[in-house]
Amino acid sequence: MTVQNATPGGWLHQLAGRSLDALPSLADHLVEQMWDDVYDPSGPVPKDDLWRSCHDNLGNMLEALRGRVPTPHTLLQTARATGARRAQQHCPLEWVLQAWHSGGEIIWNDLAQRAGAGEGAELHQLVRCTSDIWGVTDRFSIEMAATYQRVEHRLLGGTDRHLAEIIDALLHGRVAQVETEAVRALRLGADQRFLVAVAEDAPPYHGAATALAQALHSHDIHSAWRLHAGTHVGVIPTTDTTPDNVAAILRLPAAARIGLSPMLQGLPETPSGYRMAALAMATLPAHRPAATTLDRCLPDALLLASPDLARRLVATTFGPLLQLPAHERDELLRTVQAWVHGLGSPFRAAKTLYCHRNTVLNRLNRVRTLTGLDPHDVGVWPQLMLAMSALQQESGTRPESP
């Protein structure tokens, strides 16, 4: 589809023209919807800059729907300018795409209100124009994103490309070849202490490393990132910070899962740090943006590192309990979890599970009969909880946490 053939007829032309008369208020509405929700007020885009791009792009999309198009390139120029400017500002691409989607919704809603104010037939006509209206929005957003990526690629050339090659060499253990350059480029201190971070590059969050680097920079923490094997890998000097502090900073802009290694003591530890950070990331629930350090999830990481051992642990610990109907199985597993978390107190467990203390004790006796393990024995608690963690990593058998 091109901008030139985006409008189906004179009726939509007139309707879009009436929306153009309200362009400033539409831009105000879009900015207020985006500001402090998608666009961080402390981020790289000033509010007046955001308003200007919203105003100009909404205006040109409505001009396209009105059918007054000198050339396609004339109207699309605002989209290209926005994409280039946001890339230069290091604004996350997902912020811009969200604003574009919301802009399409605002245009649609305004057109629908104007059509609804007339005869009912106009609403039916508008519905038939849905693909044309959203086609214009998509055409503009695609042009913006393509320009953003071209400019970002150019900005990542030269020195940054060389930095990516240095990180690749470190990840593959070729420290001797790049050590002197790496210390300088990564801004490592004399002790060469640093962390490795691994962040998912999950759709629609491609390019999320930009937001992570900006968040760290706002706390005066330097970082260098490289897209590697489908993840964003960051090297973060830690002279004045800790892994927990870095994780706390990254949780806010996290678009997907992020794992952090423990403190590393020299560049030769980079491959090991990368593996530990990736393992920490894998312990987090899928499709939930979060950040954690390896030291905060060691039991789960240990089980992930030894999947055969984890499966054996589950089978030998819970055995026949897992063959019960799902409701009964999960009820007993939740009771075991609440019992250990409550330090063996039937009152605490009953409060967590919203049942009577005798119900808790009866369920624990049922667990002992099925598994041969006595939950009253503190010595078996580590095995029970490790097996619970391994079970929760298996698809389809995850009991709800109390």
Position 5 scores a pLDDT of 41
Statement to judge: residues 142 and 177 lie in one domain: no
Position 122 scores a pLDDT of 64
187, 222 Cβ separation under 8 angstroms: yes
Residue 346 lies in a domain: yes
Statement to judge: residues 273 and 254 lie in one domain: yes
Q: Is 372 left (phi over 0), alpha (psi -120 to 50) or beta?
A: left
How far apart are alpha carbons 389 and 311 in whole angstroms?
11
Position 210 scores a pLDDT of 78
Inform me whether the pLDDT recorded for 302 exceeds 50. Answer: yes
Statement to judge: residues 213 and 293 lie in one domain: yes
To which residue do tokens 């007020």 refer? 41
Q: Quickly state the pLDDT bin for 245 (edges 50, 70, 90).
A: very high
Q: Quickly state the pLDDT bin for 133 (edges 50, 70, 90).
A: confident
Q: Quickly state the pLDDT bin for 382 (edges 50, 70, 90).
A: confident
The whole model's pTM is what?
A: 0.52
Statement to judge: residues 178 and 124 lie in one domain: no
30, 102 Cβ separation under 8 angstroms: yes
Minimal CA–CA distance to 169: which of 268, 56, 25, 283?
Answer: 268
Average pLDDT estimate for 200-218: 72
Statement to judge: residues 185 and 205 lie in one domain: yes
Q: What is the pLDDT of residues 144-180, one digit of tens each?
A: 988 888 887 666 544 477 888 899 899 999 999 899 8
Domain with 363 in it: 306-392
392, 398 Cβ separation under 8 angstroms: yes
Minimal CA–CA distance to 107: which of 43, 42, 179, 58?
Answer: 58
How far apart are alpha carbons 140 and 213 in whole angstroms?
28
Instruction: Give, in degrees to the nearest 5, the angle at Cα 170 between 164 and 173.
Output: 145
How far apart are alpha carbons 136 and 2 in whole angstroms?
8
Inform me whether the pLDDT recorded for 249 exceeds 80. Answer: yes
Give the C-alpha distances (Å, rounded to integers) separating 290 from 206, 253, 259: 16, 9, 9
Statement to judge: residues 297 and 310 lie in one domain: no
Statement to judge: residues 262 and 223 lie in one domain: yes
Average pLDDT estimate for 20-43: 89
Average pLDDT estimate for 260-280: 94
Give the C-alpha distances (Å, rounded to integers) separating 106 from 5, 28, 32, 60, 113: 22, 11, 12, 14, 11
167, 226 Cβ separation under 8 angstroms: yes
How far apart are alpha carbons 344 and 283 in whole angstroms?
27
Average pLDDT estimate for 17-27: 89
Indicate the residue among 121, 155, 189 that finishes a domain. Answer: 155
Statement to judge: residues 97 and 215 lie in one domain: no
Average pLDDT estimate for 356-368: 93
Residue 297 lies in a domain: yes
